[in-house]
Amino acid sequence: MDRPPLLMVSPLPPARNGIADYAAALLPGLAAHYDCAAAVEDWLAEAPPGVRVVDLALAHRLRGDEGRRLYQIGNNSGHGFVLQALRARPGVTTLHDPGLLHLYESTGEDRATILAGMRHAAPGLTATYARHLRGQGVSTRANHLLFDLAGEVLARSRAVIVHSRFAKARLRLTHGEAAIAHVEVIPHLLPPGRPPGRAEARARLGIGREEFLLVTAGFASLAKRLDWVLEALEGLPALRWVHAGEVPAALAPRIGRRAHITGHLPADEFDAHIAAADVLVNLRFPSSGESSGSLARALAAGTCCIVSRTGAFAELPGDAVIALPLAGGARALADALAALAAAPDRAHAIGAGGRAHAEAEMALPAVAARYRAVIEAAEDRPPGRSEPPPLLRLAADRALIAAALAGRTGACRLRLDLEDSDRLAMLSLAPGGLAAALLPPGAELRAAALEGRGLVLDLQLPG
Amino acid sequence: MSAAPLLAALFARALPGLAARDLGLPLGALLPWLPGTRAGIADAAALDPMERALLARFRQQGLPLLGLDPVADAAPDPAWEPARDRLAWTPSGAPVPGASLTLVAGGTGEAPPAEGLARILLLAGRDDAPERHDLLLPEPRLAETYECLRAAASLAGPGWQQGGRHLAPQQASLLLLVPRPGHVLDLLVPAAVLPHDLPAPGGSEGLPLEGVRQLRLLPGALPPLRWRLRLDFAGAEPGPAAVFLDGLRIPARSVPGGLVASIDPPADRAPVLGLAWRDGAPPGLRLVTLEARP
C-alpha cells in the first residue's frame, strides 16, 4: 500500500537538542504509516535509514509536499526555522514546551511581536513588564514563567500535540477553551533501541557494583534544581553523583565540587550513565509543562526516577516514580535518597514499575499510531482561530523588511520608523512608489497611517 | 528544453556583444548556456510563496534576481544599458521593457505582432520535439537581425534541418532542428557568474568558500538527461564536501581539484545545487567552474 508523504520539520542529530533526538526516535515509527522526509536547516543532519533529509528552503519542491506537515517546536533558538516554516504552511505541531518566549527572543523576533504575545498571554500583567522591556530592555526569568507565547503556534497549526495534560491545561488557562480545541495529548516517547543493562553500563563506566550512584542529566538549567541536589547530598557523603550533561559556566564550579560533570555526551554514553544509575534525579521548579527526554530514557532503562510533583511529572503513576513535593524539596530529596541507599531493592522495584508504565504508554508503535490519528484527523481541518495581525516595527529598509516578512502569510502590520523622513520621501519617488520600493513582491498594501513618529502599513501577504 | 542550448549558441554567434536576461525562472532555460546572462522572474507575484522565498535568497554578482526588488531592478546596469543588442528571454508574451529583443518562450500565438513590432518564429530543438519560441523586435531591425541569425545557423551539423524565410514585412521564420537523440553541448560556466546565496559576490578568481558550511547555486535548467557534473576548485582541495540536488544529498566523489557527481535534473525548473561541509570549507578554497557533460 502506498504511504502518503509526510514532511517533518525539526532539528535532528547531531544538534545538541533533546527535541532533535525525539524527532529522530519518532521518525521510524511514523515511517510505518507515511513516506517520511525531514526538512532541516543543517543539511548534514542525520535521519534514520529510509527517511530523506531535505534542505527546508527546497522542501516545497519535493513531490507531494503540498500534503501533511509535522512541526517539532521547542523553546530555544534551534527551532526558529521550524516556526518560520509553520508560518509559511500550516500543519500539525508538537509543542514540546508551551512557553516559547525564549524562542521568540533568541531568534530575533521583533519586540513589538513579543509584546503583543505577552499582552495576549497575561493582559493584566503586561503593562509593568512591557515597560521594563521597552524602557530598559529588561527581560527576567519572571517573564519566561508569566508570559506564554504559544498563541501563534496554536493559531497557525491544524492540530497541536503536547506531552501532558498539564501542558494542555496551561494552554487552556492562557488561551481559552476555543483556542485549544485542536490540542491533543500524546505521551513522550521511549528512546530507540534497548538500553544497556545496569551491570554492563557500570562495567563500561568503571563504577563498582555496590556503589550507590545518583545521576542528573541533560543541560543543567536552573529549573532542574541542581542546587537542591547539592543541598540534599550534604548529609550523604557516600553517594556518588554524576551529572551527565553540560552545566552553565556560572554553576559549574559549585556543582563540580560535589559531582563529576561529563559535559555533553553522545547518545550511547548518555544512555550508559542513565542505565548505570541507582537513581535519576529529575527535578523541576518552576515547570512550564515541558517534557523530559532524560526521564523517558531512565524509564526505558528501568532506572528509579525521582521527580518533582509538578507539571507533566505529576501525571506519572505513583508506582513508576518517586514524586517529591515542591515545598521542602531539598529535605525531601535527602530523605528519599537516604531511604533508597539503605534499601536498593526499593529503587529496583520502582525502576521496574517505571519501565512497565513506559512500555505500555510510551512505546514507539503506540505513539506513532496516535500521531497518525491526529495527523489524519487534522488533514482537512483549517488552522485554528485567527490571531490579530502581528505588528512588526522596523526601519524603512527593504532588506530588513524582506527578512522580517519572509515566510509570513496573510495579514501583517508594519510600523516604519520615521527618523529618516528624507529617505522615505526618496523611496516614495521610486518606480511604483513607496510600496514597490519597500515591500517584497506579492505584498499588497491595504492601508497606511501615520502614528506618532511612525508610518503604519497594513499588508496582506501572499500564500 | 532541447532548444535553449541551440538558441543560446545561435544568438551568441549571430549577435556578438549581446547582453542577455533570462526572466524565465524558476525554469532558467537560457541561463546556463549564455554565461553572463542575468537571471530573473517575469512575474514574481505569481510564484508559489515558498519558491519566491527560495529565489529571493540568491544574489548574482551581488544583485538580487531581477523581478524581486524594484529598486535594484531600476538601478543602472552597465552590462545591459550600453549593449546594442539586449535580449530578454521571458515566458510572458509582451516585449520586455528595455530589451531590444524579446524571446518569448513557447511563442506568442497566431495574432500578428503589435504595431511597430516584428516577429521571428524560431522552430528549434530536437526533430521529434521541436519547440517554438518567438523573437519580438522593432520592425526596422527585422531584416538585419534575421540575416544575422540565418548566417549563424550555419553552425548546424550533419543531419540537422535548417531553413527559414521572410514571411511578411513584420514576420520571418527560422528552423533549426537536430536529429534524435539530439545534440547537447557540454556546459562550462564560471561559478562567479551564477546566482548563489553566499554573502560575497566573488569574481574572476571564483567564489570564496573558506569557512562556508552551506552554499546554494542556481545554474539554470539543463535538458532532462543524466549529466556528469564536475565542480572545479582552486586554492585547496575541497575535502569532505557533500553535494545536494534540490535539497537532497546525492552521491559524489572527490577527484584532484574537484568533485564529481551524476545528476538527473528536473525538466520543469532550474535545479538548485548545494555544497556542505560539516566544519566549514577549507582555508583558501574557491569554486571556480561548473562543468556538465551529458
pLDDT (0 to 100) of residue A382: 74
> How does the average pLDDT of chain B come out, rounded?
92
In the DSSP assignment, the letter for residue A191 is: P
Give the pLDDT band of residue A389 (cuts 50, 70, 90).
low
Using DSSP's 3-state secondary structure scheme, residue A297 falls into helix
Q: Give the closest-approach CA distance of B53 to chain A in angstroms.
A: 7
Nearest to B104 by CA among B126, B74, B136, B131: B136
Task: Name the H helices within B140-180.
Answer: 142-152
DSSP state of B114: P
Three-state SS at A60: helix
Residue pLDDT, tens place only, B156-207: 777 788 888 888 889 999 999 888 766 677 899 999 999 999 999 888 899 9
A58 near B246, Cβ under 8 Å? yes
The complex's ipTM works out to 0.93
Spell out which residues of chain B touch residue A89, defining contact as CB-CB under 8 Å: 50
The residue behind cell 558550511 is: B213
The residues spanned by each domain of chain B are: 3-178, 187-293
pLDDT of residue A387: 55
Residues of B in Cβ contact (< 8 Å) with A56? 247
Q: What is the pLDDT of residue A452?
A: 63
**Region A83-102: what's the mean pLDDT?**
90
Closest by Cβ to B51, choosing from A60, A406, A431: A60
CA geometry: angle A180, A181, A185, nearest 5 deg: 75
DSSP state of A32: T
Any CB–CB contact under 8 A between B268 and chain A? no
Locate A404 and state its grid cell.
Answer: 522580517
- Using the predicted structure, report yes or no on whether residue B54 has a pLDDT greater than 80: yes
Q: Reduce the DSSP state of residue B290 to 3 states and report it.
A: strand
Q: Hey, are the CB atoms on B70 and A431 less than 8 Å from each other?
A: yes
Peptide bond into B158 cis (omega under 30): no
Disruptive mutation site among A36, A43, A409 for chain B (greatest number of B CBs within 10 Å): A43
For residue B223, what pLDDT is reported?
87
Residues 6+ positions from B160 with CB-CB distance below 8 Å = B176, B177, B178, B179, B183
pLDDT tens track for A42-71 = 999 999 999 999 999 999 999 876 789 999
Give tens-digit pLDDT for A216-261.
999 998 889 999 999 999 999 999 999 999 999 999 999 999 999 9
Q: Phi and psi dihedrals of A121, rounded to 5?
A: -75, -40
**Residue type (1 letter), B263:** I
Chain A CB within 8 Å of residue B250 CB: no
For residue B247, the chain A residues in CB contact (below 8 A) are: 43, 54-59, 61-62
Residue B70 contacts A, CB cutoff 8 Å: yes
| Residues of chain B found within 8 Å of residue A42, distances taken between Cβ atoms | 214
Higher pLDDT, A453 or A67: A67
The amino acid at A350? I
Q: Does domain B187-293 have CATH number 3.40.190.10?
A: no
Angle among Cα B123, B125, B126 to the nearest 5 degrees reads 125
- Whether A450 shows a pLDDT value over 90: the answer reads no
